[in-house]
A and B are shown apart, each in its own frame.
Chain A
Amino acid sequence: MRDVDAALKLDEAEIGRIFREESGRSVAALIRIFGDIDIAEDAVQEAFAVALRKWPAAGLPPNPGGWITTTARHRAIDHLRRESRGRELLSGAALLSSGNDDPGAPGEVGPMHDDRLHLIFTCCHPALSTEAQVALTLRLLGGLSTNEVARSFLVAEPTMAQRLARAKRKIKAARIPYRVPEDHELPDRLRPVLAVVYLVYNAGLSSPADPSLCSEAIRLARILARLLPDDPEVAGLLALLLLTESRRASRTRPDGSLVLLGEQDRGRWDRALLEEAQAIVRRCLRRNQPGAYQLQAAINAVHADAATLEQTDWSQIVALYDQLLAIAPTPVVALNRAIAVGEVQGAAAALALVDELDLDNYHPFHATRADLLHRLGRNSEAATAYERAAAIAPTDAERDFLRLGGRSSR
């Protein structure tokens, strides 16, 4: 609990938090004004330094986001005036922002003209690798430092700096546009954007010590949902993230090991997030344009509806997986469908489905087989499967859990 004084006190961490929250909008606005990512980044970084100096004494400005954009814009103009190429650039930039006194306001009105929406389509352009897309999105829109982006993806800072520099060089040299795609391009171009947000969330989920990527992804998903209210998959992704987030706290034990859905304390699920997500899922159902994110959200919503594991409407879940498998016929989806089938038709039916899948390097495959074999009383086969799952599990917590699962009896 923080007292009022502590909440008002602007320390470095608090200013950092506000900056992370606001900087995406500022960076995007400056890229629109100056047409250059590096200029925008450097200027916003300088504004941050000014804020660290001024805010603790002067207090938080009434509109921190506007303050950052204005300060950064002035800094950028100061720099550009000093070089001839800059003066040229400025004459173009002046045209762009003429008649617009508030540099924080988008060039045109309406969500489709939000600078951040333009920027996320640049960051997630299909001409960039997925790794570059994720890194750029976190750096430019999420306001993470290069070092923070590097740590999130377990690479050294110089490696990440290089990756970012290369991506920015390509954007500039190849002229990857800064614009929202036309309606007819939107479905194709939105796919990598949603995939990046989902990847960011899952990166946060797999490192429980640093959940900031989870909140970052949800923040990006909320922005997208606000900007593209007519796209059901954007809504589906937001609902899916909110549902997963509502269970995140009950997903791991204090020692970091995983708690299966059936063993989670449902009282600890975050009701506010659940209700928000379920309302979105209901709207998606009414719209009836199912997609992969919406269906995954719907499956999670069915789980959330059940007060206990026993009350889960498994046949509803199987029906949703049938639809998902038709849209996304991947072995992982088939595996999850098989688990649900196991709850309706029994372990033998599920095992028959699971054994058809080619997922030897995917540890949940072996964990699922182990569980089903156990339920069928085939204990030595179950132990072998648990051992195989533990051997290829990516984290210590999961390895420990699986090794324990191999020994415990159901």
Chain B
Amino acid sequence: MTQYLLSVHSVAGKPREPMTDEEMQESYKQVGLLEEEMKSAGAWVFGGRLHKPDTATVVRMAKGEVLTTDGPFAESKEHLGGFYIIEAEDLDAALAWASKVTDVINAPIEVRPFWEMPEA
């Protein structure tokens, strides 16, 4: 089994189409159902939605001291908006979950394998 990161990327300045309350409720319900499905299939490892990138803080070592700065790490337009970590037999199985996620949340999903530590 391999673990995969299924990530959703939001693009700054390109807000998603506003949803009505009803649509929002329906979307939450769909996401909830899919997460239940992942859990009962044994694919679920972790998942979550992130606050906007302007809530981010970066810490780094500078001249031997920890320097704390406001804002996201990368000055890019795309930011991680949320993710799932799933466990799957192979890429086809991971892509099948990603297809379900993209269908429910209506945004592209990047699928990336986790580095596996070679067993000692």
Contacts and interface: CB of A to CB of B under 8 A. Distances in A.
B118 A174 contact: no
Contacts of B4: 174
B120 to A, nearest CB: 10
Given A125-B91, A127-B95, A175 B118 contact: no
A127 B112 CA distance: 11
A176 interface: yes
A174 B113 CA distance: 5
B92 interface: yes
B25 interface: no
Interface in A68-95: 85, 88
B113 A173 contact: yes
A177 interface: yes
Nearest to A181: B92
A181 B111 CA distance: 20
A173 B90 CA distance: 10
Contacts of B115: 173
Interface in A131-183: 173-177, 181
B69 interface: no
B95 A175 contact: no
Contacts of A176: 90-92
Interface in B82-98: 89-92, 94-95
Binding site secondary structure of chain B:
mixed
B55 to A, nearest CB: 31
Interface in B63-116: 89-92, 94-95, 111-113, 115
A133 to B, nearest CB: 14
B87 to A, nearest CB: 11
Contacts of B92: 176-177, 181
A28 to B, nearest CB: 18
Interface residues of B, number: 14
A410 B111 CA distance: 58
A85 B115 CA distance: 17
Contacts, number: 27
A175 B89 CA distance: 8
B57 interface: no
A312 to B, nearest CB: 46
A174 B2 CA distance: 8
A127 to B, nearest CB: 6
Contacts of B89: 175, 177
Interface in B1-20: 2, 4
Q: Which of A85, A125, A173, A181 has the most CB of B within 10 A?
A: A173
Nearest to A125: B91
A176 B95 CA distance: 10
Interface string A218-253: 000000000000000000000000000000000000
A175 B112 CA distance: 10
A121 B46 CA distance: 31
Contacts of A85: 118
A59 B92 CA distance: 45
Contacts of A88: 119
A176 to B, nearest CB: 5
A88 B119 CA distance: 10
Interface string B14-39: 00000000000000000000000000
Contacts of A174: 2, 4, 91, 94, 111-113
Nearest to A172: B113
Given A174-B113, A175-B2, A175-B113, A127 B118 contact: no
27 contacts: A85-B118, A88-B119, A125-B91, A127-B91, A127-B95, A173-B113, A173-B115, A174-B2, A174-B4, A174-B91, A174-B94, A174-B111, A174-B112, A174-B113, A175-B2, A175-B89, A175-B90, A175-B91, A175-B113, A176-B90, A176-B91, A176-B92, A177-B89, A177-B90, A177-B91, A177-B92, A181-B92
Interface of A: 85, 88, 125, 127, 173-177, 181
Given A175-B89, A177-B90, 14 more contacts: A85-B118, A88-B119, A125-B91, A127-B95, A173-B113, A174-B4, A174-B91, A174-B94, A174-B113, A175-B2, A175-B113, A176-B90, A177-B89, A177-B92
Interface of B: 2, 4, 89-92, 94-95, 111-113, 115, 118-119
Instruction: State the 9 A-B residue pairs at the shortest beta-carbon distance, nearest first.
Output: A177-B90, A175-B90, A174-B113, A174-B91, A176-B91, A175-B2, A173-B113, A175-B91, A177-B92
